[in-house]
Copies of this chain bind each other. A is one copy, B any other.
Amino acid sequence: SLSAYGPARTTIQGTPLALDELRKTDAYWQASLYLCLGMLYLRSNPLLREPLRLKHIKPRLLGHWGSDAGQCFTYIHFNRLINKYDLNAIYISGPGHGAPAVLSQAYLEGTYSEIYPDIREDLVGMQRFFKQFSFPGGIGSHATPETPGSIHEGGELGYSVSHAFGTVYDNPDLIALVMVGDGEAETGPLATSWHGNKFLNPITDGAVLPVLHLNGYKINNPTILARISHAELEALFVGYGYTPYFVEGSDPESMHQAMAATMEHCVLEIRKFQEKARQTGAAYRPRWPMIILRSPKGWTAPRKVDGHYLEGFWRAHQIPLPDVAANPAHLTLLESWMRSYQPEKHFDAQGRLIPELQALAPKGRRRMSANPVANGGLLRRPLDMPDFRTFSVEIEKAGGTQAGNVPTLGNFLREVMRLNMQNFRVFGPDETQSNKLTALYEVTQKVWLGEYFPEDADGGELALQGRVMEMLSEHTIEGWLEGYLLSGRHGFINSYEPFVHIIDSMFNQHAKWLEKCNALPWRADVASLNLLMTGLVWRQDHNGFTHQDPGFLDVVANKSPSVVRIYLPPDANCLLSVADHCLKSVNYVNVIVADKQKNLQYLDMEAAVAHCTRGAGIWSWASNDQGVEPDVVMVSCGDVPTLESLAATTLLRQHVPDIKVRFVNVVDLFKLVPHTEHAHGMTDREFAALFTSSKPVIFNFHSYPWLIHRLTYRRPGQHHIHVRGYKEKGNISTPLELAILNQTDRFSLAIDAIDRIPRLCDMGSGVRETLLDQQFACKNHAYEFGVDRQDIQDWKWPF
């Protein structure tokens, strides 16, 4: 039957709970559910010591009930096993709107009062605890950073399982108990994240125990997984590589026994698999256990109200009785419902949980609400960093030699990896090799717990224990990385630039999480999320229009300045300097934009460090305005744009005698905004010192040009800044032709300068024509041969 009702139906039989334990477990659950309803409804009269009156009710009812009972149930049953087997466990709430469930547990375990002393374990504390929930000036209605024990807010659904896997990689001792909403399970990111088990090594990693919360409903709809046959559902999870154990029903007593027996079975199975692998030293992929908990949505609420289904239906999703203010009968119903949990039995006169129930909770750091893994900064050890200067590219003459920017970074990452083989991983969606970070494979491989074929030995770079994690799911690898970082480790993710948009919303959510953590003194610093975008728009000429989208930076720039950093190093040495800085930083998302192809190199290591430290600066070797006013300021931001800007500078100096050009390069994008708006921002004076306040500025930008306008709109002289960038003109082309299409090529930039230098107004027209002819010739060459002219490909800085 697909019904969530009736006595427990279960894969694992057994009644492990003695009668007294059963009674206490149920009481603990009731106390929890009482707290959940309290949070949703009450602003005073917390233990209903007076009859319930309207004045005790919050004026605005907010929050979610439907997920709470099942989540509390699961959490509580795991507590028993934590105690029994001394488990190291955290709890991840997929449907984080079921926050009352986790909040109630943190409160009952005492963690809440430890962190927030004003929320005491007494009547006053409970009243504050209730009132603050989903209340202005209080806390949110999801498992927000304010929630002890949470690393996963669950506001945007879909990432619970990938987060869970992220926490257990390299945490052999840990079990991440993760509750997955059956609605959440319909999201794409969640649906593929089950495959995390193919990347989990039973010797060196911990275990994820997923509980699919099959409460049957979402906001207004049944869930798919609750409405397919038992056979299909079971097959699905067998297909995902798990052994699903069913616990189905609504009768509390038998459900308690069933859940206790099933969870214990799962824990023992996990231990058995781990022991087998650890004793033999042979890693393998067992069929890990998972639980399918089918119980009514809003479990323990009235089944029907005024003839309409509540419990076991989607109406139980949010506030179960929304109109208690207008409907006295509903107020009465609420009161008797709340009283049915017998708060007076579970809490003492002071309003504190009675000792015999307190005894059920784990102690100290074993409490899932107090496990340091869920405040991962506490466990974070700084990376052991090699000296990045060791990997520098030799520069004989600026702009005279080529090297691969990202490959050079790869050498550095290889050494970072070598020195941190316990707490550093690199993540990519099947692109780490294509992105030329292959040096990593000299010290580690890609983790792979799938089957092996003979040909894998021929360059497969797969290993049962590997520290590069690749799956073709930007969502999953991002989720893994977030989980890995939030549990106190370090990491680095690489992706083609266009497809980073796939995780726009995950980035948003992570940035919001970090931003809120900054305001919580008890949250310890976590390592920054370091994201390398490569496979850049300007070198996607061969893949075409779908692969050309540098707009992720616009998404990033919308987040709080306190948590985001954007770097566009112009060459390999700058990239090294930037990467070193990022890997040492905490609490940010660092976005690094760098090309993986061969590029001209400009700055030796010392110059690179100085330039990156400034974040933006004049390149005097590329300027000839020393001691005089420049005619024009050529600015580049991004490695490929820098090449074209330099080439344009050359054209200007070759074609316009005695032109004075200043060359500026910007590495750190937020230098451009006023210092009042971002910690990296320049003052107006600093800004004018670089860009002048009246000379034409020809700014060649890596991304969409208007981002520069948005960052500089307050600057004096802003109207002199003429920005070029990707204008959404693309096709299959050559690098130069793609630049020409978007007018970011050397010829267009030089023409832009000529058009804007007043004294060249009339004089410049001959040069202008020449440049246009050259541009045209380059385009024709591309069309005929499919490649850029050799002189373009071989171009070097000539001065």
Q: Tell me the A residues contacting B by CB distance below 8 Å.
A: 2-3, 43, 58-60, 62, 134-142, 144, 153, 155-158, 183-184, 186-193, 195, 198, 218-224, 227-229, 231-241, 308-309, 312-313, 315, 430-434, 446, 448, 450-453, 455-456, 458-460, 462, 470-476, 498-499, 501-502, 504-505, 508-509, 512, 515-516, 541-547, 549, 551, 554-555, 557-560, 704, 706-707, 709-710, 713, 718, 728, 731-734, 737, 782-783, 785-787
Contacts and interface: CB of A to CB of B under 8 A. Distances in A.
A235 to B, nearest CB: 4
A718 B728 contact: no
| Nearest 5 Cβ contacts at the A-B interface | A236-B239, A155-B546, A227-B450, A188-B188, A140-B544
8 contacts: A142-B546, A184-B472, A188-B475, A219-B430, A222-B462, A228-B450, A232-B241, A709-B709
Contacts of A474: 187
A144 B238 CA distance: 37
B136 A734 contact: yes
Given A455-B312, A545-B140, A239 B241 contact: no
A560 B730 CA distance: 11
B450 A224 contact: yes
A473 B157 CA distance: 10
A315 B541 CA distance: 22
Given A60-B786, A60-B787, A188-B191, 6 more contacts: A141-B543, A141-B732, A183-B472, A186-B192, A186-B195, A221-B470
B560 A728 contact: yes
B545 A512 contact: yes
Nearest to A470: B221
Given A187-B188, A456-B222, A502 B156 contact: yes
Contact of A455 (B158, B309, B451): B309
Contacts of A239: 232-240
A367 B223 CA distance: 39
A220 B192 CA distance: 19
A300 to B, nearest CB: 17
A780 B401 CA distance: 64
A504 B474 CA distance: 14
Contact of A434 (B220, B229, B315, B787): B220
A25 to B, nearest CB: 29
B222 A509 contact: no
B188 A189 contact: yes
Interface centre among A191, A222, A312, A731, by most chain B C-beta atoms within 10 angstroms, is: A191
A738 to B, nearest CB: 9
A134 B543 CA distance: 8
A239 B212 CA distance: 15
A303 B710 CA distance: 54
A192 B558 CA distance: 30
Given A187-B192, A193-B188, A453-B222, A60 B542 contact: yes
Contact of A728 (B144, B157, B504, B558): B558
Contact of A709 (B475, B710, B728): B710
Nearest to A318: B434
A455 B448 CA distance: 46
Contacts of A223: 472
B241 A544 contact: no
A196 to B, nearest CB: 10
Contact of A240 (B3, B229, B236, B559): B236
Given A228-B450, A504-B555, A733 B136 contact: yes
A788 to B, nearest CB: 9
Nearest to A718: B713
B222 A783 contact: no
A559 B501 CA distance: 13
A303 to B, nearest CB: 10
A172 B73 CA distance: 46
Contacts of A186: 192, 195, 471-473, 476
Contacts of A220: 430-434, 470
B228 A2 contact: no
A184 B471 CA distance: 10
A565 to B, nearest CB: 15
Contacts of A158: 188
Given A62-B542, A222-B456, A308-B459, A501 B512 contact: no
Nearest to A509: B546
A709 B712 CA distance: 10
Contacts of A471: 186, 224
A309 B450 contact: no
A430 to B, nearest CB: 4
Contact of A2 (B136, B431, B451, B545): B451
Nearest to A183: B472
Contacts of A459: 308, 315
Contact of A451 (B43, B227, B558, B560): B227
Contacts of A238: 231-232, 235-236, 239
A198 B228 contact: yes
B183 A188 contact: no
Interface centre among A498, A541, A732, A782, by most chain B C-beta atoms within 10 angstroms, is: A732
Contacts of A222: 448, 450, 453, 456, 460, 462
